[in-house]
Structure 1
Amino acid sequence: MNTTQRVKRLYMSTISIIGSGGMAAAIGGLSVKAGHTVEVISRDTVKARALAEQIGQGATTGSFRAVPAGDIVILAVPYLAVLDVVKQYSEALAGKILVDITNPVATDYTSFVTPDDSSGAQEIASIAPADAQVVKAFNTLFSHVLAAGPTEGHPLDVFIAGDNGQAKTRVSAFIESLGLRPMDTGPLFMARTLEHACLLSLGLITHSIKHSKFSIGVSLLG
């Protein structure tokens, strides 16, 4: 049994995804392939049901603002909506691991809508229940690249940041179970740096690569 298989066996769980867009579909699709149970939640119940049907393999839908079934909750909504979502859920998110995948990029695509000394993840943590743990992850990957998964010789790196070691271990194990490579960047304040990677990607698309079929990752030498 290889490392990925061991991780899958140890960490099979229910993953709740709040959102119904491209990233929700990509993470949900990889999750069911890895053997996880997926719960899709959205304000729009029609979209939630459609995504659950698209994901298949027993994916279910949950009620918006009810306690999510999963211990890991993926916040797969745009940043401009995520703070309102977290506020509406309030104590229903108590004790959960909240995975923030957002990028709080302003409309000029060169700055952020968050305070200069903060990040999207830190803003979420400031309003989440005290015993919820926020982990930044997945924000440096395009949804279509993530959905396609890694190719031979080209792993997909998922950079993470968070203040709670146990939460990061759980999220790292989840990421590994999807066949991806978690890369811990440190405490939650590093989320700001990860969000800058979104601006880096936008700059590459505009000035050099000219398309979005790429991922930012680490090449390990030697």
Structure 2
Amino acid sequence: MRIGIFGAGGMAEALGGQWSGHEVMVAARDRAKAERISARVGTWEETARASEVILLAVPAGAVTEVLASAGESLAGKVLIDCTNAVGPGAVLTVPGQAERIAAAAPDAHVVKAFNLCHVDVWRMTPPVFGGRPLAVPLCGSPEAVEVVSGLVRDIGCTPLNAGGLDRARLMEATMAFTVGLWFDGHDAQACFPPLAA
């Protein structure tokens, strides 16, 4: 699959490294950092045009500018939103970030994914805990979720169809809540009983 990555920070590097079996092209403000992820580097527009799927891994404040720069090249593409718009104290600064992204790229198929875990989790090969692969919830249209599900499986995780993009707000709020618990030294996973219960 042809994967574009917007950004060259931790999430771009971690997931881009996991998808090395695919054709990966990177667009970022820092070309040298982008080249550490892939030898194929282009502008936002060139990368979008050359890709079937695009990982949006830029700071939340840069999202609309980057999407505007990619322009019409995003049309028909699956756009994975892994961004988290949070401030100090793990408080959401932009509720509905995924919907904001969908409004800025109306012809793309946005899927919220990969936003619940710290970047170091995505560097694990594979992310498995206690013998159980990490589950990755995905919010978006069924067709786009199916495409991203394959990329989730490629890194050794289990995809979970969590509903339409309207449910991404719940996932973003879950991220903020659990991150707040982790920052306070609590095991957020311990809040949830196993499925059998």
Fold conserved between structures, TM > 0.5: yes
**CA deviation string 1:60-80 (max 9, x = no partner):** 222233252221000011111
Match of 1:6 in 2: none
Unpaired runs of 5+ in structure 1? 1-12, 53-58
**Residue 135 of structure 1: how far off its partner (Å):** 0.5
Taking the TM superposition and a 5 Å limit, the aligned residue runs for 1:73-84 are 73-84=54-65
Distance 1:60 1:141, change over 3 A: same
Matched position secondary structure for 1:77: coil
* Counterpart Cα distance in 1 of 2:156 and 2:183: 30
Could you tell me which residue of structure 2 aligns to residue 154 of structure 1? 132
Asked if 1:186 is matched to 2:163, the reply is yes
Residue aligning to 1:37 = 23
Q: Note the C-alpha offset of 1:179.
A: 1.2
Q: TM-score, normalised by structure 2?
A: 0.88
The within-5 A match list for 1:192-207 is 192-207=169-184
Counterpart in 2 of 1:28?
16
Deviation at 1:88, TM superposition (A): 1.5
Give the root-mean-square deviation of aligned CA atoms.
Answer: 2.5
Cα distance in 2, alignment partners of residues 209 and 146 from structure 1: 21
The structural deviation recorded for 1:150 is: 2.0
SS in structure 2 at match of 1:40: strand
Residue by residue over 1:79-129, the C-alpha shift from the partner in whole angstroms, topping out at 9 and shown as x without a partner, is 111121111211011111100001111345323334xxxx1110011111x
Number of residue equivalences: 194
Helix, strand or coil for the counterpart of 1:221? coil
Residue by residue over 1:163-190, the C-alpha shift from the partner in whole angstroms, topping out at 9 and shown as x without a partner, is: x221111111221122111111111011
Residues 1:31 and 1:217: Cα distance change in structure 2 (over 3 Å) = farther
Identity %: 37
Q: Is the 8 A contact 2:44 2:66 kept in 1?
A: no
Q: Which runs of 5+ in 2 are unaligned?
A: none
What is the rounded CA distance, in whole Å, between the counterparts of 2:193 and 2:18 in structure 1? 21
Equivalent residues in 2 for 1:1-222, closer than 5 Å: 13-32=1-20, 35-52=21-38, 59-68=39-48, 69-114=50-95, 119-128=96-105, 130-148=106-124, 149-151=126-128, 153-162=131-140, 164-209=141-186, 219-221=194-196
* TM superposition score normalised by structure 1: 0.79
CA distance in 2, matches of 1:88, 1:218: 44
Matched residue SS, 1:66: helix
How far apart, in 2, do the equivalents of 1:194 and 1:108 lie? 17
Residues 153, 70 of structure 1: alpha-carbon distance in 2 compared, 3 angstrom cutoff: same
Q: Which amino acid aligns with 2:184?
A: H
Shift in Å, 1:36: 1.3
